[in-house]
Structure 1
Amino acid sequence: MMRMNAFNETGPGEPEQDANSALIELDKGLRSKNTGERCEAIVRFPRLFEKYPFPILINSALLKLADVFRLGSNFLRVWVLRVCQQSEKHLDKILNVDEFVRRIYSVIHSNDPVARALTLRTLGSAAGIIPERQQVHHSIRRSLDSHDSVEVEAAIYAARMFAAQSKLFAVSMCSKISDMIRGQATPASMKLQLIPILQYMHHDTSTASMVNELCMELLASYPAVEFVRVTLNAMTTLASATLIDVPDQVAVLLKYLRDDPRLSVKRHALKLLLGLAKRGAHLWPRGALENLIDSTTRLLQEGNGSSDLLLRTLDVIEVLSRSAVTCDTNMDENSPLSSLCIDACYSHDPLVAVKSVMILSRIACYCYQEGLPVNNMQHVISSLESLIVLLALDNSHVYQLKLCLMSTVKLCQAHPAHAPIFVDVIVSTLMNANSKHDSTDKQTVVLCEALGAIGSIGDNVLLPLLPDILEKLRQTTDANTKVMLCTLLFQMVAGGYEWNNECLEAIDGVIKVVDGWSKYRIARGAARYGHHGIATQIFKGLKESVASEQLHFWLSGLELLTSAENYLADDNSETVDDEKANIVGKLNGAISRYASACASFKAASTPLRSLQFASEYAKLRCEFLQALVQLIHSCRSLCTSPPPAIALSIVVATKDDFQRYGRVTYQLRKSAQDFRTCADNYHKLYQSAFDADQGSLENIRAFQNICRLMANSVDRICSGFNPATGHQHNELGEFVFGTSVEMRQLARCCLEVRRLYAPVLQISEVEEAISHSRVDALISQVMLLAGGKVRLPMPRYFFQALQATVVKLSVSPQPRVLGEPVCVPQGSQLALKIEGVLRHGKKASLFRSVAAVCISISTCPPSKINSDAKINGSNQESSANELQQTVVPHRDFFACEFLLSLGGGANNCGNNLNSGPGTSTTGTGSGNSSNGSQFQVTASASILDEDGQVWKCGPRSSLQVRVHEEPTKRKLN
């Protein structure tokens, strides 16, 4: 274990080494006289590259490995080769490519053929950075004529790698490879290795045509199974690259499927057809699908491997059915595709039956979406019902059951009228499952997930199933099943219904018997659907049963947050007047709980789990409730603070007619500004949630829209906007809510707020602008938003992130002493280099992917920043000078450079900017001391997704820079 730690294998609790320290430790291992320690050091380099993927480190490390390759034994060269192959994506970060190649290439002149073979393989693994090196091309060509088989195989490997990267090499080697394949002296095993090189000869039409002719000649001359499979694979890959040869290649593969009697060739032909189907159904020639179906039908009649070939054929058709072209041409009731799938629906192989139903249901969904007549619907429904019942009986058919239920959900989404039919089937299957056997637990969870997906399509779809769900909840013993059934209950009641005693007793019974993790999942589901009373009780019991302090504070924060929402939801008022009198107390109580929850979330944060989104979301909810309280106080000031006697003179002085109403005008305008600030903060939170799922983003956008709606309501009263021409009235029509159950509830709330907003829009000449009726309308809106009639659905991203994307920045130069500024002479420019790395979780690009990174550089004297912070609060960046540059990451690495002129009031400028940055003039700073002016340079990163949307979720890195005068200039002065 001590030896492992010597090579940067830090154990738990030990501080991690920085990049230089880790490289020094590995360099010591490379210098060791013990061969084992040298090998151990070499094999740890890929992990070092993944942890610190910066060009300076990678360049230094690979040059050291190149030295080991040049001077070491063949055994060490093998491990260096493995490092180059495993670190292929980092090779293009080598700065001294010529020196790296020179050290590796020097071994090619060795008398040892094994050393030459290892050299060729190493150069082949580095083909991405040296694709056009003529001397390497010459060495590969020369080694192909070697008499040593090891060297020839290495040359073939290198030729394949270079052909994939270099057009010049591929074209020049085409004739050489052709001659070797045709040559009688070339062994058959070597020809099998040479044929895959032909798939890269797609750079020009003539070469691709020549390769196709050669492959057709090989198919005729070498009918062995291995040759046929390798040749067809090369031809298919070549056709996928050129696209124009796809129709001919589909015809060739269909010919082998129909005429070749060998099952292995038929299977391989179907596998290649599947690859061409993924390229696009529009590339297939007319009649190809019918020929595929005819060939499969004939094979079924012959009984020759029918089940396996039919399944592979259905895989191809299933991919083709994703295209509208295939669905449109095969929507007829008696089409060959429909006949084949209808017959296959009753196959004894469950996967064959499921694939057939998937194809038919996809065609039906296409017809529903396009408004076309739907055929064979009865076959689809009956087949889906039968498969759901049969597949739920066997634990080995979980995958097939998932596919079948996915088709069911898509069909219900395309035509909601089918939902009650499938819901009855799924529930009856769920109730008939024997809960005493664990074999049906997985099927039960899958069935519950399907019910939840169908239930989110429309309101009240699952409500008739409430007695069955409660009965199943009492019968089942599996914890996962109980959690899923509780989630279904939460979804049913989330449609605007109240809990009855039977449902509450069922939930309490589940909580008493399940483990802690299942309790947390139930509470999380309750919070996501807005049932905060149930969630509060569970979190209260869980917070004292965890061993970690961070988990205790996390659960305490969740308890406080849900109790705040539950406090708002508790309505003990008998009349509307009582509710109006109690609304301020309810809001204040909820605000105090939210403040405590924010403190708990901060205490639960760790460097590995920052809880930034949860803290910001709770903080914004607290700010929104504070804005509602302030609005109520502002509305009541209409009665408590009458206008002063000098109100008319104030109107004349300010030219503001609304000043005649006195203090209420100022209070209402401040409330409108609070709502606009809260809406802006929700927008900033939206921009920071790059990894959030779509439902969480819709949740944030909904509350942003509600804040805008409230701000517009107040503005109409106290600012005199014309509803016919004001742009705010147009913005109210742009609100977009999600389609989930909880978001539909928010949409209904927004519509009700708009209805209460109507009296505000009715402006007449007789009625006062700030009148009691309009103020009462505002108070009614507040009571609707905070009176417990609207449940707050917590977004999924609040609890879990399914996608993780982290941006790490490295700014150079760095000060020699930590905490000291970087010194720049007066009149000189600072060359700032920004390097960054993108880190992804297990599911990268699940919701959105990184298309580019926008780097912003702001420079400002610290004294100016401090003064701005006191005056403007959050608007600190408005006075700073900014430069921007957009870079596209290459293998999750990006770098850019800026040239900053900090002294003498010169303009900032950037080098090699992709999009022209807005440059502005910097000040000379406030310091006239002998130490010179001091600036703060801040680098921040933003992510641009594939749709061009900017996400401000990157890190910020600050650097202190001091501009000092040269000693010679001081003497002259």
Structure 2
Amino acid sequence: MIGMRMNAFNDTGLGEPEQDANTALIELDKGLRSAKTGEQCEAIVRFPRLFEKYPFPILINSSLLKLAEVFRTGSNFLRVWVLRVCQQSEKHLDKILNVDEFVRRIYSVIHSNDPVARALTLRTLGSVAGIIPERQQVHHSIRRSLDSHDSVEVEAAIYAAQMFAAQSKLFAVSMCSKISDMIRGQATPASMKLQLIPILQYMHHDTFTASMVNELCMELLASYPAVEFVRVTLSALSTLASATLLDVPQQVALLLRYLQDDPRLSIKRHALHLLYSLARRGAHLWPQGALNNLIESTTTLLQDGAGNTDLLIRTLDVIEVLSQNAVTCDANMEENSSLLQLCLNACYSPDPFVAVKAITILSRVACYCYQEGLPAYGIQDVISCLESLIVLLVLDDKHLHQLKACLRSIVKLCQSQPSHCVLFVDAIGSTLINASAENSQNEKQTVALCEALGAIGSLGENTLLPLLPDILIKLKQTSHVHTKVMLCTLLFQTVAGGYEWNSECLEAVNNVVRNVDGWAKYRIARSAARYGHHTIATEIFKGLKETVASEQLHFWLSGLELVTKAECCLMNKTEGEDNTNKAEIVEKLNGAIARYASACASLKAASTPLRSLQFPSEYSKLRCEFLQSIAQLLHSCISLCTAPPPAIAVTVVIATKDDLQRYGRVTHQLRKSAQDLKNCAENYQKLYQSAFDADPESLANIRALQEICRLLANSLERVCGGPSISMYQQQNDSVNFHFGDSVEMRQLARCCAELRRLAPSCIGGESKNGAISHLRVSCLMSQVTLLAGGTMRLPIPRYFFQTLQTTSIKLSVSPQPRVLGEPVSVPQGSQLALKVEGVLRHGRRASLFRSVAAVCISISTTPPSKINSDQKDSNMNELQQTVTPHRDFFACEFLLSLGVPGSTIVPPCTVGANTVPSTGGQYQITASASILDKDGNVWKCGPRSTLPVRVHEEPAKRKLP
């Protein structure tokens, strides 16, 4: 026990089971009731973590009421920590149910004789201003405390006034005159005036108040020329102008006047900072001529030399933000424009910061011209300057950020004009070969060059192919692991354009794998699998799976080895051409199917509660099902020759009125294969809808595999006829699908294009609805050979390996049974009020690809006769509500009638639900959540919560004789 501190509040540690909300709250409540101040403080500071872990209204309401009671009865020291909790838990305050009681306990301290206690009360009330913006008694207390003689209380009142002014229009308007009088008053100290001026930025609720504040601020600028007053006043005016939008032109003109006329550097820097914020607000709000005035001041700074470099960089920052707007680019794209002339002069500045800012602006104007189909003036100067800057910035290890900015500009130019790719690949490639890698900073620069080459290489076919010898040379020269991984990725990307591996490239990759650590090997194998080089990935995963210490990691690597090995089976070239070697194709398909089945088992064993491998498992399972479907299709095609139609085929045709039955059992087999492929396409659609956090390339990969299934099903329907789906509609859907421009998706796009070319068509005198002939079946076999004959490489999507965005939903359904596992009892004839609460949880990168706009809650009830049945009840009660999360929290209510004739699920204030007769017994209520993004797409990735409910009959009341 030496050196170990026992924790009375039992935080979750290594190997300890996670506590539920009630247990954690009880332990914290014990700490609040402790007689020791230290334990009380420790309990208080743990509440924000509890709110983040269990952000449900009942717990938050109970916790904050307890803290309010501590604030009312505790010491000032404890009140400080309660204040900190309220400030840190701002997004959870609106979940307080008993707001009046909470405010009453806090507000009671305002009558204390201790000015420090009153100050803490004011600050606490200010921190919760979002839930009590219109409390008149609090407004009165703030106004009264502003006249206090104690400086601590006055500063607290100023803080509370600023917080309430940001939330309440009534308070801001009523306090405007009071704040103005205090600022103008001679008795108010200068330090206090500096604290009062920021309150004026919230006085924008009506025109009269905003104009009065503007006049007051202009008076302050004239009366108080000190640096601190000018900075604070200009900030208040800029914030006020951003809120009203009408005063933006006047504010920009005011800031430009201070930039040009005020000799103090701090004022100039602050004016540029405020101009930057107004530029981000929108360049279209700036008055005419403002940009020209800014350019004139920039030209003057550029001529003055190095003394004003900082101001020059800040000014170029403002112009760079303005150049992001199409209005600025359209007004300055002519050859003689002042903006282009300024940037052309500045891009040759000896200061790299100035040069990079200028070339970024020129690149944005050029990209705008390319996108609009207009001539880009001075583009040759831009290209030569970018090439020179890359060489210069690589030589100096202090300008990594500037190097990345130049590389981003290069990538954007290549996206807008693909003809520039060859020039920049040559320039970056030569710089990469000549760059030294002596320290970690140079390694970062080399990695940045590799990333830029990868981005440019994904824009076109064979873009990086001329760079292949240089990449091999650099692989032998470099000694840094990260650089080797990036160079191997470039090598995989280059060979992925449909080329075969030669001995020199394979030897280079093998040398790298032998000399790097396990994590670098995994990254190389992951890149190889993503670009379809499964042979290399298989060998690396095979060696890695025996070197890990965790059982889950062993199964994960084993699953990856089996997945890549299955694809290797399909990539092996057949000896014959087209479909002449059917036995070998069948053998390859069977081998791949067996390995995919084993991979699904390994991935399932690698899953843990903290790291669910749902997407890799489902992706592998669907791939296995698809291979099984095309294997069965191949057997069905072969059976056309081995199983001729029976003698009663004509009788079957007459009985079924189906002309295709004359071909015998092959018709039924082909139709079954078509249905299997349609089911596989539907399952891919379900996988697509469940991948809310997937990157766009991974989603495009799923759509492409779904498209392959549809194309094969469409071909089968042409041959054996289809029941109801229009194949022409499917063809139109296929044409409208956009695969994307990445290297991986181009492989799948070529595969789909080849499938369309090989698809059977209506030939000669054959029926338009379908005819099974050897010629048309051979077209189907050619399609199967394309998919399983070694021509197609399946790129494993990024989402299979890593998740860049994480979004999860936690549901809470009430009421809950008193004993876990037992059903909730409901008397027959009564209604059950069901409340569903949920919390959205985000990872480190929230809303990277898409964000949550609303959550759709679905409630379904399963009657007793259908609980253990696999068949879905078409008359099952189901209802949905769409709710918009507020600060990642949402709640909705339903009213359920069970066990009575004509029972239904009725949400509050909702009518028109379908009624289904039901009887008493044990029902199963299922609540599921789906996500709606801002584009209106539905993502079925939410959890499902099940609640058993028992409907029982109440005993009949005895009648009195």
**Which of the five TM-score ranges fits, normalised by the shorter chain?**
over 0.9
Q: Percent identity at matched positions? A: 76
Report the alpha carbon displacement of residue 655 of structure 1 after superposing the two structures with TM.
2.1
> Does the aligned pair in 2 maintain the 1:723–1:729 contact within 8 Å?
no
1:214 is matched with 216
> Does the aligned pair in 1 maintain the 2:903–2:918 contact within 8 Å?
no
Q: Describe the shift of the 1:445–1:763 C-alpha distance in structure 2 as closer, same or farther (beyond 3 A).
A: farther
Number of aligned residues: 958
2:940 is matched with 952
Q: Give the Cα separation in 1 of the matches to 2:184 and 2:681.
A: 72
SS class of match (2:398): helix
Q: Describe the shift of the 1:725–1:547 C-alpha distance in structure 2 as closer, same or farther (beyond 3 A).
A: closer
Asked if 1:684 corresponds to 2:680, the answer is: no
> Does the aligned pair in 2 maintain the 1:924–1:933 contact within 8 Å?
no
Asked if 1:894 corresponds to 2:896, the answer is: no
1:586 is matched with 588
Report the alpha carbon displacement of residue 198 of structure 1 after superposing the two structures with TM.
0.6
Asked if 1:964 corresponds to 2:949, the answer is: no
Q: Give the Cα separation in 2 of the matches to 1:310 and 1:580.
A: 72
Report the alpha carbon displacement of residue 718 of structure 1 after superposing the two structures with TM.
1.2
Report the alpha carbon displacement of residue 437 of structure 1 after superposing the two structures with TM.
4.4
1:929 is matched with none
Asked if 1:920 corresponds to 2:920, the answer is: no
Note the alpha carbon deviations across 1:410-462, whole angstroms, 9 max, x for none.
Answer: 10111111111111111111111123444421111110111111100100111
1:857 aligned residue (856, 859, 875):
859
Report the alpha carbon displacement of residue 643 of structure 1 after superposing the two structures with TM.
2.0
Q: Give the Cα separation in 2 of the matches to 1:2 and 1:285.
A: 66
Asked if 1:548 corresponds to 2:550, the answer is: yes
Asked if 1:13 corresponds to 2:15, the answer is: yes
Q: Give the Cα separation in 2 of the matches to 1:862 and 1:348.
A: 81
Note the alpha carbon deviations across 1:295-314, whole angstroms, 9 max, x for none.
Answer: 22223444584200110111
Report the alpha carbon displacement of residue 21 of structure 1 after superposing the two structures with TM.
0.8
Q: Give the Cα separation in 2 of the matches to 1:531 and 1:306.
A: 54
Q: Describe the shift of the 1:397–1:762 C-alpha distance in structure 2 as closer, same or farther (beyond 3 A).
A: farther
Report the alpha carbon displacement of residue 724 of structure 1 after superposing the two structures with TM.
10
Report the alpha carbon displacement of residue 171 of structure 1 after superposing the two structures with TM.
0.7
Q: Describe the shift of the 1:762–1:726 C-alpha distance in structure 2 as closer, same or farther (beyond 3 A).
A: farther
Report the alpha carbon displacement of residue 65 of structure 1 after superposing the two structures with TM.
0.6
* Letter of the structure 2 residue corresponding to residue 669 of structure 1: R
Note the alpha carbon deviations across 1:25-63, whole angstroms, 9 max, x for none.
Answer: 111111111111111111111111111111111111111
2:246 is matched with 244
Report the alpha carbon displacement of residue 912 of structure 1 after superposing the two structures with TM.
4.2
Note the alpha carbon deviations across 1:772-821, whole angstroms, 9 max, x for none.
Answer: 11111011001101111010000000000000011000111111111110
> Does the aligned pair in 1 maintain the 2:806–2:843 contact within 8 Å?
yes
- Written as runs of structure 1 = structure 2, the 5 A alignment for 1:152-167 is 152-167=154-169
Asked if 1:880 corresponds to 2:882, the answer is: no
SS class of match (1:937): strand
Q: Give the Cα separation in 2 of the matches to 1:456 and 1:164.
A: 48
> Does the aligned pair in 2 maintain the 1:855–1:942 contact within 8 Å?
yes
Note the alpha carbon deviations across 1:871-892, whole angstroms, 9 max, x for none.
Answer: x4xxx47553111111111111
Asked if 1:750 corresponds to 2:752, the answer is: yes
1:396 is matched with 398
- Written as runs of structure 1 = structure 2, the 5 A alignment for 1:245-644 is 245-302=247-304, 305-576=307-578, 578-644=580-646
Cα RMSD, aligned residues only: 1.8
Q: Give the Cα separation in 2 of the matches to 1:78 and 1:849.
A: 36
SS class of match (2:263): coil
Report the alpha carbon displacement of residue 721 of structure 1 after superposing the two structures with TM.
8.4
Report the alpha carbon displacement of residue 649 of structure 1 after superposing the two structures with TM.
2.3
Report the alpha carbon displacement of residue 10 of structure 1 after superposing the two structures with TM.
2.2
> Does the aligned pair in 1 maintain the 2:718–2:770 contact within 8 Å?
no
Report the alpha carbon displacement of residue 652 of structure 1 after superposing the two structures with TM.
2.3
Q: Give the Cα separation in 2 of the matches to 1:724 and 1:940.
A: 33
Report the alpha carbon displacement of residue 336 of structure 1 after superposing the two structures with TM.
1.2
SS class of match (2:395): coil
- Written as runs of structure 1 = structure 2, the 5 A alignment for 1:44-63 is 44-63=46-65
* Letter of the structure 1 residue corresponding to residue 896 of structure 2: L
Note the alpha carbon deviations across 1:331-383, whole angstroms, 9 max, x for none.
Answer: 11221111111111122221211111010001000000100011011211111
* Letter of the structure 2 residue corresponding to residue 949 of structure 1: N
Q: Give the Cα separation in 2 of the matches to 1:9 and 1:350.
A: 50
Q: Give the Cα separation in 2 of the matches to 1:969 and 1:377.
A: 93
Asked if 1:814 corresponds to 2:808, the answer is: no
- Written as runs of structure 1 = structure 2, the 5 A alignment for 1:710-729 is 710-719=712-721, 726-729=728-731
Q: Give the Cα separation in 2 of the matches to 1:337 and 1:732.
A: 46
2:838 aligned residue (836, 839, 844):
836
> Does the aligned pair in 1 maintain the 2:714–2:727 contact within 8 Å?
no
SS class of match (2:833): strand
Q: Give the Cα separation in 2 of the matches to 1:439 and 1:729.
A: 52
SS class of match (2:389): helix
More displaced stretch, 298-307 vs 789-798: 298-307
Q: Describe the shift of the 1:462–1:768 C-alpha distance in structure 2 as closer, same or farther (beyond 3 A).
A: closer
1:911 aligned residue (907, 911, 923):
907
Asked if 1:27 corresponds to 2:29, the answer is: yes
SS class of match (1:935): strand
2:195 is matched with 193
Report the alpha carbon displacement of residue 917 of structure 1 after superposing the two structures with TM.
8.6
Q: Describe the shift of the 1:187–1:305 C-alpha distance in structure 2 as closer, same or farther (beyond 3 A).
A: farther
Q: Give the Cα separation in 1 of the matches to 2:376 and 2:938.
A: 42
Q: Give the Cα separation in 1 of the matches to 2:768 and 2:478.
A: 67
Q: Describe the shift of the 1:767–1:698 C-alpha distance in structure 2 as closer, same or farther (beyond 3 A).
A: closer
- Written as runs of structure 1 = structure 2, the 5 A alignment for 1:751-830 is 751-759=753-761, 764=766, 769-830=771-832
Q: Describe the shift of the 1:724–1:921 C-alpha distance in structure 2 as closer, same or farther (beyond 3 A).
A: closer
SS class of match (2:437): coil
1:146 is matched with 148
Report the alpha carbon displacement of residue 676 of structure 1 after superposing the two structures with TM.
0.5
Q: Describe the shift of the 1:768–1:305 C-alpha distance in structure 2 as closer, same or farther (beyond 3 A).
A: closer
With the length of structure 1 as denominator, give the TM-score of the two structures: 0.96
Report the alpha carbon displacement of residue 207 of structure 1 after superposing the two structures with TM.
1.1
* Letter of the structure 1 residue corresponding to residue 950 of structure 2: R
Q: Give the Cα separation in 2 of the matches to 1:98 and 1:722.
A: 63
* Letter of the structure 1 residue corresponding to residue 914 of structure 2: S
Q: Give the Cα separation in 2 of the matches to 1:112 and 1:577.
A: 93
* Letter of the structure 1 residue corresponding to residue 33 of structure 2: R
> Does the aligned pair in 1 maintain the 2:828–2:899 contact within 8 Å?
yes
2:100 is matched with 98
1:928 is matched with none
Asked if 1:934 corresponds to 2:930, the answer is: no
SS class of match (2:816): coil
Report the alpha carbon displacement of residue 211 of structure 1 after superposing the two structures with TM.
0.8
Q: Give the Cα separation in 1 of the matches to 2:726 and 2:537.
A: 45
Asked if 1:81 corresponds to 2:83, the answer is: yes
SS class of match (1:421): helix
Q: Give the Cα separation in 2 of the matches to 1:756 and 1:595.
A: 30
Q: Give unmatched runs, 5+ long, in structure 2.
A: none
SS class of match (1:396): coil
> Does the aligned pair in 2 maintain the 1:5–1:11 contact within 8 Å?
no
> Does the aligned pair in 2 maintain the 1:394–1:439 contact within 8 Å?
no
1:174 aligned residue (170, 173, 176):
176
